[in-house]
Amino acid sequence: MINIDSFISQAVTRSVEALYGKLDGEQLQIQKTRKEFEGDYTLVVFPLLRRSRKAPEATATEIGERIVADTPEIESFNVIKGFLNLSLSSAFWGERFGEIYAAEDFGTAPSTGRTVMIEYSSPNTNKPLHLGHIRNNLLGYSVAQILRANGHNVIKVNLVNDRGIHICKSMLAWQLYGGGETPESSGMKGDHLVGKYYVEFDKHYKAEIKALMAEGKSEEEAKKTAPIMLGAQEMLRKWEAKDPEVYSLWQTMNGWVYDGFDVTYKALGVDFDKVYYESQTYLLGKSLVQDGLDKGIFFRKEDNSVWIDLTADGLDQKLLLRGDGTSVYMTQDLGTALSRFEENSLDDMIYVVGNEQNYHFQVLKLILKKLGYDWSDNIFHLSYGMVELPEGKMKSREGTVVDADDLIADMVGTAREMSDELGKLDGCTEQEANAISTMVGLGALKYFILKVDPKKTMLFDPRESIDFNGNTGPFIQYTHARIRSLLRKAAEAGIDYAGGTAAAAYLPEEVELVKSLADYPNVVAAAGDNFAPSIIGAYAYELAKSFNGYYHDHSILKEENTAVRDMRLRLADEVARVIRSAMKLLGIDVPERM
């Protein structure tokens, strides 16, 4: 398939040079014509006035006449001040449509040879996944799909935060108040059960702080000396010392959590090529800290803790190892980064982590650079905004988060309820209705989250997301189902449109649809360059909306001219294929019927 942008650039360059001589490397300013004006591509004429020595309108007219004479595919032009708008012929777009229709891998770029690792999810093993994790997982998985479509070798990884004070809090609370409760005895998912004791720890911790303050201690003293917090810190030290009892409990409770996570990941439709565990990388991180001490890059304080001074770089001092020798997040992130680049020969490493960690990743890259690892320049933090609810922010310690499992179940239930109300499931078996409700509920959730620019904080409204009108996943899914229904009817009528010839002329609305289809590879490339599934979402919505308008205004199956009918069926088929492809990049399935 020809590159339309290059075709236009070459055609314009030939005509301009025929009029004014060689450009000598000078770049012409060519862009897509804005929607409110007639035309496909626009040449900005002002930079050429010194060559033409004419007024902007006269220069634009002279160039336009030459281009139309030189290039048959450009059938007309119009001039608005110093802007030359060029219109490609219907026949040109018909040829492009034929190329699109024949391309099996349309929208997928050839291999770049680059290996990119993308880390997402990265849960703590002290609580179940919640709405914030859903945005992280959906964003990471979709960006991985988009990068793969752009020709990269993509490795999807999860880093499980399976060690540290947070899991010790849940473990200690379970020892103190659990009474031997297990997922089997309680009927709870393992991650929910462990999360229950994380909340339990916080409740008792607050009570102890309050009691100590009543005895005359300051709040800061009370927080440091609360018995339950001292117990959790002692448990962490025992864990790092491989105390058999603590280590066995840690393995058991983490196992409960992993089983629970797997259920949620499957329901969300996300997966990983490899899972890393901080418990397996923190020792390498400690060796890097020692290396930094030996080189004089880090320093040790009187309490035996290890730090790096980044004040000369406009930052501050950063803790790398606690005084008792236990590691912090930065310690294990250093070790994890090193092992990944060495094991996989990575070209790029992308971390999908919320914007509250912007400073952390700025420091991580800087420390690795100071340690002599130049590949740190190829680390990118895909920072995203938090998900908020109409009621405000979520708090894990207080148990006020929106649980991922509950939200998924609610979305599917609401999709079933609304689909029934609108008659979308009429004629479906119970099995089909359940499958469609699951597809629509998850499609609504995924699209609502991914259509927002990753950098923006977003407000999630579950009911608004399940709407069969407007900029929603169900609207796009329904458009696909509507086209598939149309094509089934054509097949039942014995119409073989695949071998049909293209119509002699295309209506303006048909040309616009072909133009939208032709732009799909550019959209996929832009989404990859910007790590932005929202670009794909906006494209899919506009394509679905355009087709629905066209379908409303023009007959397809009842069209008497068979060549036109077959072309329209081919066009509908291709719109469905591209919608299906775009939605797959968002991790969304589309139904065959609704």
**DSSP annotation string for 278-292:** HHHHHHHHHHHHHHH
**pLDDT(369) > 70:** yes
Average pLDDT score over residue span 528-536:
97
Neighbouring C-beta atoms of residue 508, cutoff 10 Å: 9
The CA radius of gyration of the chain, in Å to the nearest whole number, is: 30
CATH number of 4-88: 3.30.1360.70
The pLDDT assigned to 195 comes to 94
**Angle CA(279)–CA(317)–CA(368) in degrees, nearest 5?**
55
Give mean pLDDT, residues 82-94. Answer: 95
Q: What is the pLDDT of residues 261-309, one digit of tens each?
A: 999 999 999 999 999 998 888 888 999 999 999 999 999 999 999 999 9
pLDDT digits (tens, 9 = 90+) for 223-252: 999 999 999 999 999 998 999 999 999 999
237 vs 23: CA distance, rounded Å: 71
The model's pLDDT over 543-586, given as tens digits with 9 standing for 90+, comes to: 999 999 999 999 999 999 998 999 999 999 999 999 999 999 99
Mean pLDDT of 345-363: 96
139, 419, 508 from 430: Cα distances, Å: 32, 13, 42
Nearest to 67 by CA among 88, 94, 96: 88
Residue 458's DSSP bridge partners are: 387
> Is 258 a residue whose pLDDT tops 60?
yes
Residue ranges per structural domain of the chain:
4-88, 120-388, 410-585
What does the pLDDT read at residue 396? 42
* Cβ atoms 228, 205 nearer than 8 A: yes
502 pLDDT above the threshold of 70: no
Structure tokens at 441: 């509920």
For the chain, percent of residues with pLDDT exceeding 90: 81
Mean pLDDT of 350-355: 96
Q: Is the pLDDT of residue 398 over 50?
A: no
Write down the pTM of the prediction.
0.90
Task: Decide if 389 contacts 465 (C-beta within 8 A).
Answer: no
pLDDT in tens, 310-348: 999 999 999 999 998 888 889 989 999 999 999 999 999
Count of alpha carbons within 13 Å of 540, Cβ hemisphere only? 36
What is the CATH architecture of 410-585?
Orthogonal Bundle (1.10)
What CATH fold (topology level) applies to the domain 120-388? Rossmann fold (3.40.50)
Kind of pairing between the strands at 387-388 and 379-384: unpaired
